[in-house]
Chains A and B, each alone.
Chain A
């Protein structure tokens, strides 16, 4: 009695004719058709990159305006700039709305994960705060206060928290981990896409010294976004990080 079962070799059907092929075949042995998914066109990828470049250039323009022109230090103009940035990110995110809207869902919501990410963010902000303080003192022999304008005013304090923690968390994530990373994933493999989006995010802050924490920060959120397939963990991570940094700043000003 031969009860031994011979395992059939793994086979697949040709994409074009009806021939059965070995699972590893790259071409059909009877019709010569290529056995792979529809080809990606380099011109399409190039166009995606160009579109991403336009987004980045406009974003960079807004960053430069807010950093290097005095007019935008004023509240009204600052708000105009902020709204322009929001419109820019939302606009580009919506270009591919049918695909990108999936990123706004929160599949497999987990409170533990969320608190873990928030904890990491706060610890990170704590470390960065002291490292940056030390760097500023050693390199520039001075302490820099970014938000002196809001000293002692509660209304201004809320605005400060809103504009340093809430809006950047939401819209930087939407722009960089949403639109940009999603486009790059279509152009390249996951690692390169996450890396490029992280690097671009880091250098748009226009501070070389800050790169040492901005790159790891952005890489972390990038990988969280790819792993969890949602923007929300990143948004909360970013929010907690900025909030902690902002609170440190306020604490120091009150001293």
Chain B
């Protein structure tokens, strides 16, 4: 009977994550916000949180950029495949020249499209695949090392940055319980 008489009080919520607070909590059990701390402590916590969120955004952007370079590589390989097909149309072995480019294009496309879900796996695979293709091209003809070297360095840079950011991102997601 007593239960029905108590007046429902509005529940107190954490100022940082809006999680419900139980009366005697000194810290929020969800995010660690110092509920009973001084105003200074609370300000420090909130600004740190803000910094974390900015970091998260930066990492996300870098991973996205790496994913985009995978798409770019896919398009490039596809273009190469199509051009070689038309150049060697009459060659009976035309498939032997075109197919590797097309397989490469499909691989980069698949890696690019999964790079949001599984960033680390896709970007590492993409980078190694790209490097091996470059090595094979250089073995085929050493002059290839110089062609488009700036673009190559930019792509490798984006992918390496992407790997680092993917590590940070996974750590951040694990710590803050963010699900994809």
Contact = CB atoms under 8 A, between A and B. Distances in A.
Contacts, number: 102
Nearest to B124: A196
A191 interface: yes
A25 B31 CA distance: 9
Interface stretch (A28-36, A87-95, A235-243): A28-36
Given A60-B135, A187-B167, A26 B177 contact: yes
B171 interface: yes
B100 A208 contact: yes
Q: How large is the interface on B (under 10, 10 to 19, 20 to 34, 35 or more residues)?
A: 35 or more
A196 B171 contact: no
Interface stretch (A39-47, A123-131, A149-157): A39-47
Contact of A36 (B22, B124, B175): B175
B25 to A, nearest CB: 4
Interface stretch (A162-170, A198-206, A226-234): A198-206
Interface string B1-41: 00000000000000000000010111111111010000000
A209 B103 CA distance: 8
Contacts of A24: 29
Interface of B: 22, 24-32, 34, 92-93, 95-96, 99-100, 103-104, 107, 118, 120-121, 124-125, 128-129, 132, 135-136, 139, 163-164, 167-168, 170-171, 175, 177
Given A141-B93, A203-B132, A187 B175 contact: no
Interface in A162-209: 187-189, 191-192, 195-196, 199-200, 203-204, 206, 208-209
Interface residues of A, number: 41
Contacts of A189: 170
A203 B26 contact: no
Question: Which of A25, A29, A30, A139 is the most central at the interface, judged by chain B CB atoms within 10 Å of its CB?
Answer: A29
A58 interface: no
Given A36-B175, A49-B124, A203-B132, 10 more contacts: A22-B29, A24-B29, A27-B27, A27-B32, A29-B22, A40-B171, A42-B167, A68-B139, A200-B125, A208-B103
A224 interface: no
A208 B128 contact: no
A21 B96 CA distance: 64
B45 to A, nearest CB: 9
Given A40-B171, A139-B95, A26 B135 contact: no
B29 A34 contact: no
Given A46-B167, A206-B132, A29 B139 contact: no
Contact of B167 (A45, A195, A199): A45
Given A42-B167, A46-B167, A140-B96, A28 B121 contact: no
Nearest to B140: A68
A22 B25 CA distance: 12
Interface in A203-230: 203-204, 206, 208-209, 211
Nearest to A22: B29
B97 to A, nearest CB: 10
B93 A195 contact: no
Nearest to B95: A139
Contact of B31 (A27, A45, A204): A27
A117 interface: no
Contacts of B163: 49
A97 B24 CA distance: 49
A195 B128 contact: no
Contacts of B93: 139-141
A117 B130 CA distance: 33
Question: Which of A32, A49, A139, A196 is the most central at the interface, judged by chain B CB atoms within 10 Å of its CB?
Answer: A32
Given A28-B27, A192-B120, A42 B168 contact: yes
